Amino acid sequence: MRINAEAAYVLHARPWRETSLLVEVLAEHHGRLGLVARGVQGPKKQVLRAALQPLQHIRLDAVQRGELAQLVSAEALDAAPRLAGEAMLAAFYVNELVMRLAPRQDPHGDLYRIYGETRSRLGGDDSLAWTLRRFERDLLESLGSGFDLSEDAEGAAIDAAARYRIDPEQGPRRLLSDRGRDERSTAATGSALLALAADQQPGTDDLASLRLALRSVLSHHLGGRGLKSWEMLGELGRLKRRE
């Protein structure tokens, strides 16, 4: 199958053999693709190598044969956002999530759009935590694993004053008041769920409550095997607490 003039975002690239790269992209009409980019390590291929860096938006031609496609050509469509520090780690996390959860060669037009919007926010002034929570919500929705966050698993309206754990299969479940501290610490506030459902950034404490609640859902879909980016973000948090 020939893929012509396909817009895509580069998720990951790593050396392969002496002069080639293995590249993962999220394409507009073909979903996540694995590409073999041959002969791109020479001095005359500097422009092509630059176009194959993570976060870059490209237009590509390729030939699909089996699981991996052979890259024929690629050109940058814009300048990738210049990220550093926590924003760079956040981008690494977004890319890792897409590579782990989005199946190859399975078109997800919404995911391509969602990724582009998230990429723009990472390079802007938006809150990183809010950007990531929105992305997690939209990623799950685009892959068919999302929920209506305005009601719980029993169909009752979310109570802003309550706390909820998010069941990966059934959605929010209200916690009883006698639940242990550990379970309550990984539950989201009702007000945070309502804000996420309405796409309105919640207050600091409510926003923080969404992180571990959504992580439990993502962990379920990841098959219990965590992400390297979670380890890196956790280490960054530990270093900050020591300062």
Tens-place pLDDT, residues 105-145? 888 779 999 999 999 999 999 999 999 999 999 999 999 99
Q: Per CATH, the architecture of 2-76 is what?
A: Beta Barrel (2.40)
The pTM score is: 0.91
Query: pLDDT band at residue 224, thresholds of 50, 70 and 90?
Result: confident
Residue 193 confidence (pLDDT): 97
The percentage of the chain sitting over the pLDDT mark of 90, rounded to a whole number, equals 74
Average pLDDT for the chain = 90
**pLDDT exceeds 90 at position 103:** yes
Angstrom distance (rounded) from CA 145 to CA 167? 11
Angstrom distance (rounded) from CA 46 to CA 40? 8
Which whole number is the average pLDDT over 40-66?
88
Q: How is domain 85-242 classified at the CATH fold level?
A: de novo design (two linked rop proteins) (1.20.1440)
Amino acid at 200: Q
Query: pLDDT band at residue 225, thresholds of 50, 70 and 90?
Result: confident
Structure tokens of 100?
């782990």
Q: Where are the domains of the chain?
A: 2-76, 85-242
Could you list the beta-strand ranges (E) of the chain.
Answer: 2-16, 20-27, 31-37, 57-65, 68-76, 163-167, 171-174, 188-189
Which whole number is the average pLDDT over 60-69?
91
Query: pLDDT band at residue 7, thresholds of 50, 70 and 90?
Result: very high
**pLDDT exceeds 90 at position 184:** no
